[in-house]
Amino acid sequence: MTIDRHTAHEKPTGAQVLLDAAAGRGVSVCFANPGTTEMPLVTALDRTPGMRAVLGLHENVCTGAADGYARIARRAALTLLHLGPGLANGLANLHNARRAHSPVVNVVGDHASWHLPFDAPLTSDIAALASTVGAHHEIVDRVAVAAVTRRAIDDAHERLGVSTLVVPADLQQLTEQEPPQEEKRCAVPRPGVEGEAVEQAARRLRAAGSQGVLLLGGEGLSRLGQFAAGRISAATGARLYSETFPARAERGGGLPPIDRLPYFPETAVEALRDAAVVVLAGAPEPVAYFGYEGMPSRLAPQRTLHRLADVGQDVEQALVALAELVGVEDRPAGAQPLAEPAPGAALTGQTVGAALASRLPEHAIVSVEGGTCGYPFYSASAAAVPHTVMTNTGGAIGQGLPAALGAAIAAPERPVIALQSDGSGLYTAQALWTMARESADVVVLIAANHTYNVLRTELARHGSTEPGPQAARLTSLGEPAIDWVSLARGFGVPASDATTVGELCAALGDALRARGPHLIQMTM
Amino acid sequence: MTIDRHTAHEKPTGAQVLLDAAAGRGVSVCFANPGTTEMPLVTALDRTPGMRAVLGLHENVCTGAADGYARIARRAALTLLHLGPGLANGLANLHNARRAHSPVVNVVGDHASWHLPFDAPLTSDIAALASTVGAHHEIVDRVAVAAVTRRAIDDAHERLGVSTLVVPADLQQLTEQEPPQEEKRCAVPRPGVEGEAVEQAARRLRAAGSQGVLLLGGEGLSRLGQFAAGRISAATGARLYSETFPARAERGGGLPPIDRLPYFPETAVEALRDAAVVVLAGAPEPVAYFGYEGMPSRLAPQRTLHRLADVGQDVEQALVALAELVGVEDRPAGAQPLAEPAPGAALTGQTVGAALASRLPEHAIVSVEGGTCGYPFYSASAAAVPHTVMTNTGGAIGQGLPAALGAAIAAPERPVIALQSDGSGLYTAQALWTMARESADVVVLIAANHTYNVLRTELARHGSTEPGPQAARLTSLGEPAIDWVSLARGFGVPASDATTVGELCAALGDALRARGPHLIQMTM
């Protein structure tokens, strides 16, 4: 293989060795926004068969796309970022990837090692930045390039997290004595769950009856996991919840109608108040999203918690074992389908959620960001055809559009829909351009209410039901109103407007039939 | 003052105490993108007379605007950012502010202190992020709010750098026993320069004659500093250079025509090759921007360096003292005016630079980002009317539009022009919306060549004169071409197109006569 690409007198560069090592580990996509210190890697991309480079106009598009890609492909993509500032720009979506347990491997070019001591303008503390989102692997000499690259990739897959590989420019350029041996690697199975944890869960759920709660997260939200959860519920009477912001949840197609644990702590505490046991299956202990005076951080009484399986374990298998143990084969019926709203109805969170759920194509991937339509859609979509939902697990906004892009690259055969609030969408609207360039089949639905609505709610919770003029302006996206149709066209994405359910359904149908991306501005 | 805003039974909150302390230190602008953990601060903004809140749609707009504001106002603005991810989003332009020696004070809300241990989704290592761009000040109890706020602001002004103030949500809400006493603070004069350093500079420059070089940076690029430099040059024969990316340089209006030290190391080394002495006046030792194999990091021989004044010292006074010592009163003549290009001429870096220099309104502020037009404009503008140029000192791209916005807020009476390359402009195009909302008088000129041109140059320097298909796509902004006119309209900014010098001059004239922002897409 190497002979085809390097003539006898041309040894591979460090950059080439790095990309070959990544390709050898099955990595096939690189979401890139490179600069001067990554030029040898850019050149080497053209000599790495099977490695597809995808340009983002901002690093947070690249990192968010890598997160979305990992959620669907179940393996890491590379990002290619320029020095400390490039990594800094991508940190918010790396934070989200960390919270979503998505394997992502950043490749960050650094100054030539001999140039670093001179504190040139773009020098900064890359290690400190990388440490905030995961582990940091520095390539320090020419013989380490392949080994450290493999270690960073394996580390991301084992920890289900973010690895950052820092590669000085001189080491990208250096030629090695020998091309590295390819080292095969077997997939590492997730560690299983102790039988005792399963048996205790069974005993406690049986004893609790309708006061039992099963909280699903991670792989517990696969189809297999949820069907097992439905059987457990049918056998014991336990109530089922998903974690509030699942990285990836299978939905619809006859799955039990599992809603998310409510967002606000008072509602979540209420939901768990009478619980005798809360069994955690791939979900962490539920805690409040924010601390509110007078409300607890911990949402469930400590004595009720039982850890069946952590996110790093084989959660599906634990749920199946538990379902076998509690002994019922019957599946609960799926959710009742919702009636589609009238075509003349105005667009609200409820009508958009119901309309989209009823028009969803089979096996669609829906990237949901923002509360306006996100919550109502999730509830409605229990009754839809089989599909996959991704939410913003880490809470750093600007994740929905890049994640939709990454999902479309991971699964080109599946339609992708981004159900996106306007405020968060504006963080990474540049993702639209990459969708256009890659002809990604993404339909972007913008909930254009022209406010940071969640903040209006929060102001009210802080007693500011009538915000002052500055508070009102700081939570408004009006004056002037953003025109998403113009923005989309500016980025090369066809776009249209909808103000009623009928217009939305017509535009959605057209967009799904066409190839490539389309944006629909939903005026709410 | 406090009595008007708080009734007797209503003690000020921690948030109010913080903003009052900032206002007491003369801070009057807050570039904000707040979230849930900053709601008490948002509410308090409406009770803080003289504190203007300006919303950015992305944190890097806020931090870049604070940098531009500081360069023109010569004092710090606040930024208001949401937790670790909000700070992370703004880090790239904080990196630039650090390199430009701009005082900036970030106020970052954190989770309630009692909620932090539970590792809620948005929890991250804020201190590690802040440490990469400057000092970090944590508010840890209610009595510290005012004192720590004042310390963070004083620290930013003294260090000429970035301070980050982390304020847990519970401390924002808590009411104090007493409103804080306002503590007056006298301006701290910059430390002067030792007479010996001035005398030695005079001796060495006299001895060197035309082999003397005076390299100006920081306050050395004020009008006073440059006129002094002109006298020094006239007396000794020394050649004058500005640092390559000045944070703020006064230009035109009869100032000596001081060009920037060249960007590429081979050219810079050539410019300094025969130097017998390089006197540094507010500029650091010149080093290569990037390390290139076979080129030195240090651009001037060590034995030639003489430090007249560091950026933290009174550089202007040192230059004036040196001019007095070398003893010539004559000023060199200003640069020769360039002929305006023919109206039918195509838009190139040269024609745009010359056209803009000839049409510049007096006392304009020009925010320059990107090489295509930036270098030719800087050379041409030596012969223009008096104006101020800001460049991207730190090199993290996406700085030009936010800095122009901040400059317009700092000096509403001055016209602002953003001369902006397209690739870097796309990083923070959201700044356009804030320009529209604030009716900022900014004319944005986009050099739309649809490539990351600097990277094409760098690929060629790495031997890739014919980049492969992936390298070509990674350095292209075409396929599809960005339409800046649509983007601007989407953000509420009127926009037009220009393809010739005549069209550019007409559009520029119209835009300068109108109020509020305007964007001109220069097709190149």
Average pLDDT, chain B: 93
Instruction: Report residue A5's pLDDT band, with 50, 70 and 90 as the boundaries.
Output: very low
Length of chain B equals: 524
**B132 to A124: CB separation less than 8 angstroms, yes or no:** yes
Letter for the amino acid at A439? S
Average pLDDT, chain A: 93
Q: How many beta carbons lie within 10 A of that of residue B494, not counting itself? A: 16
Distance from CA of A238 to the nearest CA of B (A): 26
Q: Using CA atoms, how far apart are residues A310 and A280, in angstroms rounded to an integer?
A: 8
**A290 to B467: CB separation less than 8 angstroms, yes or no:** no
Task: Write the pLDDT tens digit of every residue in A334-389.
Answer: 677 778 899 999 999 999 999 999 999 999 999 999 988 999 999 999 999 999 99
Nearest to A484 by CA among A443, A522, A437: A522
Q: What was the pLDDT predicted at A235?
A: 95
Q: Using CA atoms, how far apart are residues B320 and B137, in angstroms rounded to an integer?
A: 37
Task: Write the pLDDT tens digit of every residue in B434-474.
Answer: 999 999 999 999 999 998 888 999 889 888 778 999 999 99
Beta strand extents in A43-112 (DSSP E only)? 52-55, 78-82, 104-110
B169: pLDDT strictly greater than 70: yes
A228: pLDDT strictly greater than 70: yes
Which residues sit opposite A273 in a β-bridge? none
B112: pLDDT strictly greater than 70: yes
Q: Using CA atoms, how far apart are residues A31 and A42, in angstroms rounded to an integer?
A: 12
Superfamily of domain A2-173: Thiamin diphosphate (ThDP)-binding fold, Pyr/PP domains (3.40.50.970)
DSSP B391: E
Chain A residues inside the 8 Å CB shell of B245: 121
Q: Which helix (H) or strand (E) holds B135?
A: strand B134-138
Q: What is the mean pLDDT of residues A471-478?
A: 93
Which token pair is A356?
């989209």
Phi, psi of B323 (to 5 degrees): -65, -40
Task: Write the pLDDT tens digit of every residue in A316-338.
Answer: 999 999 999 998 766 656 677 77
Report CA-CA distances (Å) from A136 to A29, A130, A377, B455: 20, 6, 38, 27
> How far does Cα A419 stand from its chain's mean position?
13
Q: Using CA atoms, how far apart are residues A210 and B190, in angstroms rounded to an integer?
A: 72
Q: What was the pLDDT predicted at A466?
A: 86
Instruction: Report residue A6's pLDDT band, with 50, 70 and 90 as the boundaries.
Output: very low
Q: How many beta carbons lie within 10 A of that of residue B483, not counting itself? A: 19
Are B45 and B53 spatial neighbours (Cβ–Cβ below 8 Å)? yes
Tokens 């195509």, residue?
B346
Phi, psi of A437 (to 5 degrees): -60, -40
Report CA-CA distances (Å) from A190 to A217, A314, A393, B449: 15, 5, 21, 50
- Give CA angle at A174 (A172, A177), nearest 5°: 125
The CATH architecture that domain A349-523 belongs to is 3-Layer(aba) Sandwich (3.40)
Are B359 and B337 spatial neighbours (Cβ–Cβ below 8 Å)? no
Are A243 and A216 spatial neighbours (Cβ–Cβ below 8 Å)? yes
Q: Is B131 exposed, middle or buried (0-12, 13-18, 19+ CB in 10 A)?
A: middle
Nearest to B284 by CA among B404, B394, B146, B388: B394
Distance from CA of A466 to the nearest CA of B (A): 10
**A482 to B490: CB separation less than 8 angstroms, yes or no:** yes
Q: Using CA atoms, how far apart are residues B83 and A265, in angstroms rounded to an integer?
A: 19
Which token pair is A376?
């109502």
Total beta-carbon pairs less than 8 A apart between chain A and chain B = 308
Parallel, antiparallel, or unpaired for β A249-251 and A387-391?
antiparallel
Q: Is B206 exposed, middle or buried (0-12, 13-18, 19+ CB in 10 A)?
A: middle
Q: What is the mean pLDDT of residues B416-426?
A: 97
Parallel, antiparallel, or unpaired for β A259-260 and A239-242?
parallel
Nearest to A309 by CA among A295, A325, A292, A321: A321
Length of chain A equals: 524
Q: Using CA atoms, how far apart are residues B432 and B60, in angstroms rounded to an integer?
A: 13
Nearest to B101 by CA among B166, B151, B148, B158: B158
Of B128, B245, B436, the CB nearest to A132: B128
Q: What is the mean pLDDT of residues A399-422?
A: 98
Tokens 């911990």, residue?
A298
Q: What is the mean pLDDT of residues B169-185?
A: 75
DSSP B398: S
Distance from CA of B520 to the nearest CA of A (A): 14
Task: Write the pLDDT tens digit of every residue in A7-36.
Answer: 445 789 999 999 999 999 999 999 999 999
Name B145's Cβ contacts closer than 8 Å, sequence gap at least 6.
B14, B17, B18, B21, B139, B167, B171, B176, B180
Nearest residue of B to residue A459 by CA position?
B39
Chain B residues inside the 8 Å CB shell of A55: 473-474, 476
A195-326 sits in which CATH class? alpha beta
Which token pair is B370?
């990107």
Q: What was the pLDDT predicted at B6?
A: 47
Higher pLDDT, A179 or A445: A445
B1: pLDDT strictly greater than 60: no
Nearest residue of B to residue A126 by CA position?
B132
Distance from CA of A372 to the nearest CA of B (A): 16
Q: What was the pLDDT predicted at B462?
A: 81
Chain A residues inside the 8 Å CB shell of B115: 288, 290-291, 297
Q: What was the pLDDT predicted at B334?
A: 67
Distance from CA of A264 to the nearest CA of B (A): 12
Of A132, A297, A486, the CB nearest to B115: A297
The tally of CA atoms less than 13 A away on the side-chain side of residue B515 is 5
Task: Write the pLDDT tens digit of every residue in B220-270.
Answer: 999 999 999 999 999 999 999 999 999 999 999 999 999 999 999 999 999
Query: Greatest CA separation found in chain B?
Result: 75
Task: Write the pLDDT tens digit of every residue in A140-160.
Answer: 888 889 999 999 999 999 999
Interface test with A, best of B47, B51, B89, B133 (most A CBs within 10 A): B89
B8: pLDDT strictly greater than 60: no
Letter for the amino acid at A242? S
> How far does Cα A305 stand from its chain's mean position?
27
Q: What is the secondary structure of A304-336 as a DSSP string?
A: GEEEEE-TTS-HHHHHHHHHHHHT--PPPP-PP
A1: pLDDT strictly greater than 70: no
Report CA-CA distances (Å) from A45 to A81, A242, A322, A406, B510: 14, 40, 47, 19, 46
Q: What was the pLDDT predicted at A334?
A: 67
Are B133 and B159 spatial neighbours (Cβ–Cβ below 8 Å)? no
Question: CA quadruple A420, A425, A429, A431: dihedral positive or negative?
Answer: negative
Are B419 and B373 spatial neighbours (Cβ–Cβ below 8 Å)? yes
Distance from CA of B229 to the nearest CA of A (A): 25
**B287 to A119: CB separation less than 8 angstroms, yes or no:** yes
Are B495 and B517 spatial neighbours (Cβ–Cβ below 8 Å)? no
**A115 to B288: CB separation less than 8 angstroms, yes or no:** yes
Q: What percent of chain B has pLDDT over 90?
A: 86
Ramachandran region, residue A385 (left: φ > 0; alpha: ψ -120 to 50; beta: rest): beta
Higher pLDDT, A257 or B410: B410
Does B195-326 match B2-173 at the fold level? yes
Chain A residues inside the 8 Å CB shell of B132: 84, 88, 124-125, 128-129
Tokens 């336990």, residue?
A238
> How far does Cα B276 stand from its chain's mean position?
32
Of A132, A467, A484, the CB nearest to B124: A132
B28: pLDDT strictly greater than 90: yes
Chain B residues inside the 8 Å CB shell of A483: 489-490, 492
Q: What was the pLDDT predicted at A330?
A: 62
DSSP B244: S
Tokens 């420059």, residue?
B205
Give the full edge-to-edge strand order of the sheet including A249-251. A249-251, A387-391, A364-369, A416-421, A442-448, A518-523, A495-498
Instruction: Report residue B143's pLDDT band, with 50, 70 and 90 as the boundaries.
Output: confident
Tokens 């970052």, residue?
B108
**Could you tell me the residue ranges of all domains in chain A?**
2-173, 195-326, 349-523
> How far does Cα A520 stand from its chain's mean position?
22
Q: Which of A226-240, B58-72, B169-183, B192-206 has the lowest mean pLDDT?
A: B169-183
Instruction: Report residue B335's pLDDT band, with 50, 70 and 90 as the boundaries.
Output: confident
Nearest to B173 by CA among A290, A473, A397: A290
Distance from CA of B253 to the nearest CA of A (A): 30
Q: What is the secondary structure of A203-261 as a DSSP string?
A: HHHHHHGGGEEEEE-GGGGSHHHHHHHHHHHHHH--EEEE-SS-SSEEE-TT----EEP
Of A39, A85, A423, the CB nearest to B95: A85
Parallel, antiparallel, or unpaired for β A239-242 and A162-168?
unpaired
Q: Which helix (H) or strand (E) holds A367?
A: strand A364-369
Which token pair is B336?
């020769």
Are B488 and B436 spatial neighbours (Cβ–Cβ below 8 Å)? no
What predicted TM-score, i.e. pTM, was given to this entire model? Answer: 0.96
Interface test with B, best of A80, A115, A430 (most B CBs within 10 A): A115
Task: Write the pLDDT tens digit of every residue in B359-393.
Answer: 999 999 999 999 889 999 999 999 999 999 999 99
Instruction: Report residue B314's pLDDT band, with 50, 70 and 90 as the boundaries.
Output: very high
